[in-house]
Amino acid sequence: MILCIVGPTGVGKTKMSIELAKKYQAVIINCDAMQVYKGLDIGTAKITESEKEGIEHYLFDFVDPKVNYTVADYQRDARQLLEKLKGQNIIFVGGTGLYLKAALFDYRFPVESQEKKDYTQYTNEELLQMCLLKDKNCQIHVNNRKRLIRFLEKENVNPVEPKPLYDALFIGLTTNREKLYDIINARVLKMVDDGLIHEVEGFYKKGLHSKALETGIGYKELYQYFDGNISLAEAIKLIQKNSRHYAKRQYTFFNHQLPVKWFNVNYEDFSQTILEVEKFIQSKN
């Protein structure tokens, strides 16, 4: 059995994954793009050894942050694990939907077209419309002309809708937007209390400027602070804001790209949410 626990940042995926792993004697595979990196612990809300409760975890904390670990790398590693762990119950947990799609579906990576087309005559709005014709789920911002052109230049090697390669259940945890935003804002403040600034400063003082550190939420904002471009208070507010925006993008991906069954989290009694999820799993097996 393969279960996938998805949802926006901070909603309670890790806690759910541990409870289900205990019930079904499952191993856990990370599908969070930032939690693969060593040392990026506080800012990614990485599970601790004590929180693992002895359950085997894979694809966590194993990539040097100087390395650019790609979706293709994840696809390769996850599929190797699926082969190695065949016959065991497996739980994927994390908020990077594209990692899941790449691992579990017939997802192929676009290649650069050999024939370059001249797009100088088109406005950004026209380029965006062309992108949407190519893929109705295209999320590139209209002002990002470079990315729009790159998207158009890539040959689409995926089927219209990649077919699943594995039989998996997709379980989504959710809550109302106001509650989620409160959770995210409070979580960022707790990260700061837990030593986030010290964690990021360690990388900054080493002069590390990798993709993970310059694009990861919680890291890129504090790098701006250490560069002297913004105050610490501004950096913290920016982390909160970017985390909220990321949650919105996560919902968009999960709702359009994966067959997710959503469950509203009962934060007063999380055990009730666990029971609801277990009933759903039993109904499908």
Least confident of 166-175, 199-208, 248-257: 248-257
Give the pLDDT score at 132: 83
Give the pLDDT score at 114: 54
User: Do you know the residue count of the chain?
Assistant: 285
pLDDT tens, position by position, 128-149: 888 887 777 788 888 999 888 8
Give the pLDDT score at 93: 96
CB 195 within 8 A of CB 42: yes
Closest alpha carbon to 33 in 221, 253, 226, 205: 253
CB 55 within 8 A of CB 77: no
Give the pLDDT score at 160: 57
Residue written as token pair 């219209």:
160
Give the pLDDT score at 154: 75
| For range 84-101, the mean pLDDT | 93
Residue written as token pair 């991906």:
253
- Give the separation between CA 159 and CA 144, rounded to whole angstroms: 26
Q: Spell out the domains of the chain, with CATH numbers in brackets.
A: 2-107+161-283 (3.40.50.300), 111-155 (no CATH)
Mean pLDDT for all residues in the chain: 90
pTM: 0.81
pLDDT tens, position by position, 31-83: 999 999 999 999 999 998 999 999 999 999 999 999 999 999 999 999 999 99
| For range 194-207, the mean pLDDT | 95
Residue predicted with more confidence, 10 or 161? 10
pLDDT tens, position by position, 146-177: 888 888 877 654 555 778 999 999 999 999 99
Give the pLDDT score at 257: 87
Give the per-residue SS3 of the chain.
Answer: CEEEEECCCCCCHHHHHHHHHHHHCCEEEECCCCCCECCCCCCCCCCCHHHHCCCCEECCCCECCCCCCCHHHHHHHHHHHHHHCCCCCEEEECCCHHHHHHHHECCCCCEECCCCCCCCCCCHHHHHHHHHHHCCCCCCCCCCHHHHHHHHHEECCCCCCCCECCCEEEEEEECCHHHHHHHHHHHHHHHHHCCHHHHHHHHHHCCCCCHHHHHCCCCHHHHHHHCCCCCHHHHHHHHHHHHHHHHHHHHHHHHHHCCEEEEECCCCCHHHHHHHHHHHHHHCC
Give yes or no for residue 127 having a pLDDT over 90. Answer: no
Give yes or no for residue 256 having a pLDDT over 90. Answer: no
CB 174 within 8 A of CB 247: no
**Token pair of 278 as six digits:** 């277990």
- Give the separation between CA 285 and CA 274, rounded to whole angstroms: 17
CB 252 within 8 A of CB 139: yes
